[in-house]
Amino acid sequence: MKNWNFKVKCRPNEISKNLEASFGAANGFVFNIKNNQNNLVSFKIRKRLLYAWYILYHNNVVVKGSLSNAEGKGETNVNISFSQHLLWKFVIFVHLLLALSFVIAIFLGSNDIAMYVLAIITLAIGVFLWLRLQKKYERNIQEYKDLICNLL
């Protein structure tokens, strides 16, 4: 999870209306906004996944943020955190767990060469997906930062 904090010279209500107009359901995003007590506005943005194969192509970062009044008049503190989509974490975890189960089966007495090959391939896929995910995650965070900066 990565955090991003900055100040904007607008009121929280104006910023929330601008975000809601830009990230509405018509644009393919899931956008939830809540107005809390003490002029605190929290929001959550993620890209909607309509089909299973979209996970490979779409931006899979979940953005959680809050808008609060700053000490100066007409300023807003913007706190944003970026995290990976739960589905990606699950895919990586399953591949690594499957590879671990093959390795345990090998150590428990299965000396079949196919089991060795299957364990190595599954572990390699898990590591490859994890490395690609980290690279894609950094790129997607930068895309969200650019988009949010252009909106505010």
Q: How many CB atoms lie within 10 A of CB 88?
A: 17
pLDDT tens for residues 41-81?
A: 788 887 776 666 666 666 678 888 887 776 767 777 788 88
Is 44 in contact with 62 (CB distance < 8 Å)? yes
- The model's pTM is 0.70
How do residues 76-95 score in pLDDT, each as one tens digit? 778 888 888 777 777 777 87
How far apart are alpha carbons 1 and 16 in whole angstroms?
A: 23
d(CA 112, CA 119): 11
